[in-house]
Structure formats: C-alpha cells, structure tokens
C-alpha cells in the first residue's frame, strides 16, 4: 500500500444476516454521491444466488450492483471480488473477480481463502485509490467464533483498511441490546477499537422510548449510538436475498392479474419480478406447495443455480403436474434462465456441471434441449423482439435491455424466435434468443430483467388479463429508481448523525 493515495473509508457490519447492512451501504453511497464525492461500494465476499453481469461481462452480487447504482457509478468486479453461489449437496460455485474458479464444499473453500485474501485486498486498494470514499459491507456477523480464523470479509478487512465500523442491529427481530453488546464482547480488543458507532435498524414506534437503552449501550460498550433507523415499506430497493421475498398486494375482489412465481429451493435473480410486485392490478405470489398454486393467470418458473436439482424438487412437490395442467387449460407459462431450461424436453450434463446425472427429462412444454458446459455466459445484453404472438403480441421490433448469467446452451427453438440479441457487453452480435410454442403462450428465455422493460411487461400482463376477462389498469408513473435512492438517502440523513459519520470516515470537505 506504500505510495498510494487513498480516499476516505467506512464499513458497515451487522450483528446477524439480514440486519440491514446492504440497505445502509446503499444509503450512504447515495448520500456521499449527492455531496459530489466519487463513491464506490465494496463487499469482499458475498454469498448470494442473486447476481448481476457487469458491463465487461463479469459477475458480482446483485446487491453490489444496486449499491453502485446508488453511488452513481458503474458496477465493477472489484466491488465484489469473491461471490459464492450455493449449489446442492452443500457446495458453492466460487466466482473470483467475476469468473467461476471452483466448486467447493465449505471445508474446501476454507482452504481456498488464504489464496483469495490478496485478491480481496488488491480489489479494495484499487477502489480506494480511485475514489473519494469507499463504503464497505461486511457479511453475517463478525463474531462467528468458528469462522474468525478464516475471515476475509469482516474485521480483517476493517483492520486492513483501518476502517471505522458502524455496527448494525435489527430491533425488529427482538433482542437488539443483547445483539450489540454480545457482538462487542466477542470481538478482540483491536477489533472493538475499530467499531466507532452503533446503529439500531428497523425500529417501529416512538424513538424516545429507546432513550434509556441507548444510554445503556453507550456506557456498556463505550461506543455511541449514531442512529435509530425506522422501518420503511415505501422505498423500493431490490432485496438482497430470498429472506426478504414477499408478494404484492392481496387480491380481495378477484380483479387483479394473479401471477404465481414458483419459489424454487435455489431461486436466483428474483428481483426479476420487482416490477410485477409494484404494478397496480397485479397480485404476485411465490408458490412452493401445490395447495398454494390456485388458479393463476400467469405462471413463472424463475432462475436457479441448480436446474436439475430444483426440477427434481418441482416434481417431488407435484408442482410439475399443476403447471402442465394449467398450461393445458390455457394459462401462459414463462421460464427464465433455469426455468427456460426446465421447460424443454431434455437436459444434458456431460461434464456433471449441474448434478451427478448426465441427463434429465424436462417438462416438455418447449421443443428444446439444453446442454450444460463448464463455461459461464455473463453479459449485459440488448435485444429486439421478433415475435408478434401470444405473450409478445404487439411487441415486434421493440428494443429491450437485459442481462444473461447461465452455464447452459439451449437449442431447438421454434420459429419465429421471440428475440434476437443485438449486443452482448457492448459487442455487436446477431444471435437467436429464447423459444415460444405455436400459440405464443409458453415463453422461455435467458433474459434476466425482462419484466423491467415496460412495453414487454405490459404485453405479457395484458395477455394474462384477457384470459380472465380483466381490464389491466393503467400502470401509473414508471418507477424512477434514482428517486428511490434519493428517498433512501433522505431516510439516512434524517436518522443518522451524518456529521459524526463524515468525520470518522475522514471525508474531504
């Protein structure tokens, strides 16, 4: 690090997973960016099935892409140098600097961590040398005693960067005082010295009721409470993991288009459905049991990291029978990425990339087959709609943006194709994409983010609404994601001691 000029730095760690670290990092990124600073997020190691393709075709955690957008900067692999994507049988794909490096069990991954640490520090140092401030996110809890000797994401990062740490506890789960005090007690002395502020997150009610507790925390830990963040439900930020998955509004009078998304065990890239969750006139449900399947107007099979395993689960739950019956009765069915692969006739895995089996039978709703390879396709993609039937009626020649993350090649598409890919990671191409059946009511595609394209989303929902004899209401103003990040920044400013935070982060004036 000698000779390199670094900007400011601050780190957010939590007492547990889902304490609100990712959201707070995004909020701070937007606050600092609004103040004219050059900002970058960083998370050394992320375990998530929700990933994103960077402009140059690397793969990072989706939450770091969200944080980059909040920071008004382009996502880069340096922002998440290590991504773990869980697979079946307690193994994970290890993605390093945007590219798959190995598939490892927890014990095998621990042996890898020593070689990953230099990549983590190099990525962080690179970001710090290029930006006024880097906002770092930890993972889980820094007080997991059994994991501390292999740490490459929490206090070891804070010590490397000499970063002040904000420790966040989730009061909505209960026991927040024990969470914060217990975490501080379990840290080593040099680690405790890095914690400069405590934050209580997801509070509901009158903050003055916490005054005596906040005083206690300050006395007991020697660290000030720098904010009490209220619970919010009106700021639309993509969720980091499936713990936060919820559907849309209940359909009390049967006038909403009922969309059933199959909640696969290894569901991935579920923010594909955020535009449906917030769309007036749509009821979005996540379904994992036949008893909850109901009579939907549209069925979606989402992405997954373990296509064959989740296809086996689908059959074990008898959801395959419900999906096939619904399609026979005229219900449209969409498969995205792994869901697309499942819709075909056969899946081949000669290199055992997906499972221990070399072949599996698909649902047979599309005349396609998929072969898994060792190479992963990760692209930001622009496409043009070429079909004009069924789910895509009226969309011919519509331009759309999306991204691809998959390790399978699917062939046997029915003509005319639904899409033509016109560019991948800014390189001009002319490639077929996706498949539809003759009616245009079964659609398979590798395009993540399809529903984020308004014209395509409206066409799909109107097709589903016509089956029920419903009139889809006007969508209202399109979601302005930048405005949502601004709301998040206002939430942080109103409830955090930002003067103190700027000072400990040593930010330029």
**Do residues 437 and 365 lie in contact, with contact meaning Cβ atoms separated by under 8 Å?**
yes
β-bridge mates for residue 224, sequence order: none
Cis-peptide into 303, omega within 30 deg: no
Q: Note if 29 is an active site residue.
A: no
The crossing angle, in degrees rounded to 10, of helices 21-34 and 62-70 is 30
Alpha-carbon gap, residue 488 to 467, rounded angstroms: 39
From 131, 406, 448, 452, active-site residue: 448
β-bridge mates for residue 291, sequence order: none
Buried b (16+ CB within 10 A) or exposed e, 311-322: bbbbeebebbeb
Q: Note if 18 is an active site residue.
A: no
Using DSSP's 3-state secondary structure scheme, residue 491 falls into helix
SS3 letters across 208-275: HHHHHHHHHHHHHHCCCEEEEEECCCCCCCCCCCHHHCCCCCCCCCCCCEEEEEECCCCEECHHHHHH
From 29, 131, 266, 337, active-site residue: 337
CA neighbor of 461 nearest in space, from 393, 399, 383, 386: 393
The Cβ of residue 14 has, within 10 Å, a number of other Cβ atoms equal to 27
Alpha-carbon gap, residue 450 to 145, rounded angstroms: 42
CA neighbor of 352 nearest in space, from 89, 154, 132: 89
479 DSSP assignment: P
CA neighbor of 346 nearest in space, from 327, 366, 329, 370: 370
**Do residues 196 and 223 lie in contact, with contact meaning Cβ atoms separated by under 8 Å?**
yes
The secondary element (H helix, E strand) that includes residue 30 is helix 21-34
| Residues with a known catalytic role | 337, 448
């Amino acid at each position: 690090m000698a000779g390199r000029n670094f900007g400011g730095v601050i780190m957010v760690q939590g007492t547990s997973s889902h304490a609100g670290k990712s959201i707070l990092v995004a909020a701070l990124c937007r606050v600092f960016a609004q103040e004219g600073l050059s900002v970058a997020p960083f998370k050394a190691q992320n375990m998530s099935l929700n990933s994103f393709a960077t402009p140059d075709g690397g793969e990072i955690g989706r939450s770091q892409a969200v944080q980059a957008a909040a920071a008004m900067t382009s996502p880069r692999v340096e922002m998440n140098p290590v991504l773990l994507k869980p697979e079946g049988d307690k193994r994970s794909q290890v993605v390093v600097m945007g590219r798959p490096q190995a598939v490892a069990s927890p014990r095998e991954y621990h042996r890898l961590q020593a070689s990953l640490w230099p990549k983590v520090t190099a990525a962080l140092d690179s970001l710090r040398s290029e930006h006024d401030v880097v906002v770092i996110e930890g993972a889980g809890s820094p007080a997991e005693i059994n994991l501390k000797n292999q740490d490459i994401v929490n206090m070891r990062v804070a010590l490397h960067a000499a970063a002040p740490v904000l420790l966040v506890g989730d009061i909505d789960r209960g026991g927040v005082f024990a969470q914060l005090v217990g975490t501080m007690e379990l840290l080593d002395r040099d680690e405790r010295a890095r914690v400069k502020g405590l934050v209580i997150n997801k509070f509901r009610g009158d903050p003055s009721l916490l005054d005596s507790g906040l005083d206690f925390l300050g006395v007991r830990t020697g660290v000030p409470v720098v904010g009490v963040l209220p619970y919010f439900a009106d700021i639309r930020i993509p969720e980091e993991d499936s713990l936060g998955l919820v559907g849309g509004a209940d359909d009390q009078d049967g006038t909403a288009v009922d969309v059933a998304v199959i909640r696969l065990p290894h569901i991935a890239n579920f923010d594909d459905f955020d535009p449906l969750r917030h769309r007036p006139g749509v009821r979005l449900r996540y379904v994992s049991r036949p008893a909850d399947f109901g009579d939907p107007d549209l069925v979606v099979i989402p992405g997954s990291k373990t296509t064959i395993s989740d296809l086996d689960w689908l059959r074990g739950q008898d959801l395959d029978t419900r999906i096939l019956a619904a399609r026979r009765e005229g219900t449209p069915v969409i498969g995205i990425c792994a869901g697309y692969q499942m819709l075909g006739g056969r899946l081949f895995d000669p290199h055992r990339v997906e499972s221990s089996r070399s072949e599996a039978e698909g649902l047979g709703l599309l005349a396609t087959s998929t072969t898994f390879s060792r190479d992963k396709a990760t692209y930001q993609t622009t496409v043009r709609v070429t079909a004009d039937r069924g789910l895509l009626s009226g969309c011919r020649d519509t331009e759309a943006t999306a991204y691809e993350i998959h390790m399978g090649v699917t062939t046997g598409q029915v003509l005319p194709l639904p899409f033509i890919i016109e560019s991948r990671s800014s390189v001009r191409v002319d490639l077929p994409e996706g498949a539809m059946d003759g009616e245009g009511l079964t659609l398979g595609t590798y395009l993540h983010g399809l529903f984020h394209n308004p014209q395509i989303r409206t066409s799909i929902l109107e097709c589903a609404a016509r089956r029920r004899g419903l009139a889809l209401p006007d969508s209202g103003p399109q979601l302005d994601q930048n405005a949502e990040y601004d709301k998040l920044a206002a939430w942080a400013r109103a409830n955090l001691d930002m003067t103190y935070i700027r000072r400990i982060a040593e930010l330029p004036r």
